[in-house]
Amino acid sequence: MDSSYDLVIIGAGPTGLFAAYYAGFRGLSMAVVDSLPEPGGQVTAMYPEKMIFDVGGFAAVRGRDLVQGLVDQVEPWQPAYLLGRKAEKLESVDGGVELTLDGGEVLRAGAVLITAGIGEFTPRPLPAGDGWLGRGMVHFVPSLQVHAGQHVVVVGGGDSAFDWCLALHPIAASVTLVHRRAKFRAAESIVREVRGLGVRMITDAEVTRFVEAPDGELAAVEVAVKNGEGEQLPANAVVAALGFTADLGPIESWGLEIDHRAISVDSTMATARPRVYAAGDVAAYPGKVKLIATGFGEAATAVNNIAVALDPEAHLFPGHSSNAE
C-alpha cells in the first residue's frame, strides 16, 4: 500500500534515528527506511559490542546500547519503520518527492533526508549456508539472548568474528570459530582475549555443509580442514561474520552531485535537488569529519531546515527540548 509522510528518512543508522527524533520534535510525520533488518547502521552491523568513547554525554557507551537509546528516544514520536526495505528510486513531484522501495511500494513525502551512510550493506556470502539465512544462519546478532544455551559456530577471521565470540561465549553452550586461513585479520589483542577464554579456533578450515535435523532445524555443520581431517560440529546457529561490502547503489543515479561516494550538501544539508537533504556519513562538504557526533549535529540542522521548507512560516530554531512538556 502506498503511504504519505511529511518526511521520509533513508537509513536507520545513528544519523537517521536521531533525525527521526528531531522530526518528531518538530511535529512531522515520518517513515524510516533501511535495507537492514535492524536499526543502527554500521554500529549494529559491524561493532555492536564495542565501546564507543566519543559520543557526547557518554564517557563510554556500548554500540548496542547507543542504538537502543536512539530507538527509545524516537519511540514517543512513533516513526513508521520500514526495515529490510531498500530505497530504489526518487522522483520529484508537486509538493515533494516520491520514493519507490524494492517491491514497488511508493512513499510520498514533503521531503526526503538521505542518511544512507556508506550505502547499503551486502554481507559477504557463506556459500554452504545458501538457504539457511534466518533458519540458523545470521550475518550479525540482533539479540544475544536468542543464542543462550546454543552451540554457535562463528565463521570469519576479522574483528567482528572475534567480537561475536567474546559476546556469545558467556551465554552460549559452546562457541567455535572457523576461519579459512591460518592468520587472522583481527587485532592481536582481541585474538589473545578470545583464545584466553578457551574458545576453540579451527583455522585453514571451511564450513562445507549445514546439517538439518529431522525437525528442519540446524543440527550441525561439516567443516573441512586443509590437509587434515574434516569433522562435524554441533551447531544451533552459525554467525557468518565474513564482512560486508557497502555501496550507494541506486542513490548514485538520483541526479545528485556525488563527491567521493558521498552527496554534496550546503550548510543547511540541502542537496542540489529541491526537498532532498542528506546528513551523516553520506553527506559531503569541505572539512567533513565522518563521526557519529557529526551526524547528530547534521541531523538536527537538516530536519530544522526541512521543517521550514515544508512550512515557510515555521521557525528554523526548534526551541529548547528542555522547555518541552
Interface residue list for ligand FAD (CB under 6 A): 10-16, 33-36, 41-43, 46-47, 52, 54, 86-87, 115-121, 249-251, 280-281, 290-293, 295
Cβ 247 to ligand FAD shortest distance, Å: 8
Q: Which is nearer to ligand FAD, 144 or 291 (CB)?
A: 291
322 assigned binding-site residue: yes
Phi, psi for residue 43 in degrees, rounded to 5: -65, -50
Q: Which is nearer to ligand FAD, 235 or 248 (CB)?
A: 248
215 assigned binding-site residue: no
Cell digits of residue 277: 537533504
Cell digits of residue 298: 547534521
34 assigned binding-site residue: yes
281 assigned binding-site residue: yes
35 assigned binding-site residue: no
Q: Which is nearer to ligand FAD, 46 or 205 (CB)?
A: 46
Cβ 126 to ligand FAD shortest distance, Å: 20
Return d(Cα 312, Cα 315) in angstroms, integer: 8
Cβ 281 to ligand FAD shortest distance, Å: 4
Report CA 28 to chain centroid distance, whole Å: 24
Report CA 146 to chain centroid distance, whole Å: 19
Are the beta carbons of 136 and 151 closer than 8 angstroms? no
Q: Which is nearer to ligand FAD, 99 or 218 (CB)?
A: 99
- In Å, the largest CA–CA distance within the chain is 73
Cβ 190 to ligand FAD shortest distance, Å: 12
Residues 6+ apart with CB under 8 A from 68: none
Instruction: Please identify which residue in the block is written with the cell numbers 547499503.
Output: 120
87 assigned binding-site residue: yes
Cβ 154 to ligand FAD shortest distance, Å: 17
Q: Which is nearer to ligand FAD, 9 or 126 (CB)?
A: 9
21 assigned binding-site residue: no
Half-sphere exposure of 94 (CA within 13 A, CB side): 0
Half-sphere exposure of 15 (CA within 13 A, CB side): 30
Return d(Cα 184, Cα 80) in angstroms, integer: 41
Q: Which is nearer to ligand FAD, 86 or 273 (CB)?
A: 86
Residue 89, Cβ neighbours under 10 Å: how many?
A: 14
Cβ 278 to ligand FAD shortest distance, Å: 9
Residue nearest to ligand FAD according to CB distances in the complex: 117
Cell digits of residue 49: 559490542
Return d(Cα 132, Cα 128) in angstroms, integer: 9
Instruction: Please identify which residue in the block is written with the cell numbers 512531522.
Output: 28
Q: At what angle do helices 159-168 and 188-196 cross, to 10 degrees?
A: 30
Cβ 61 to ligand FAD shortest distance, Å: 10
Q: Which is nearer to ligand FAD, 249 or 318 (CB)?
A: 249
List residues forming the annotated binding site: 15, 34, 42, 47, 87, 121, 281, 322
List residues forming the annotated binding site for FAD: 15, 34, 42, 47, 87, 121, 281, 322
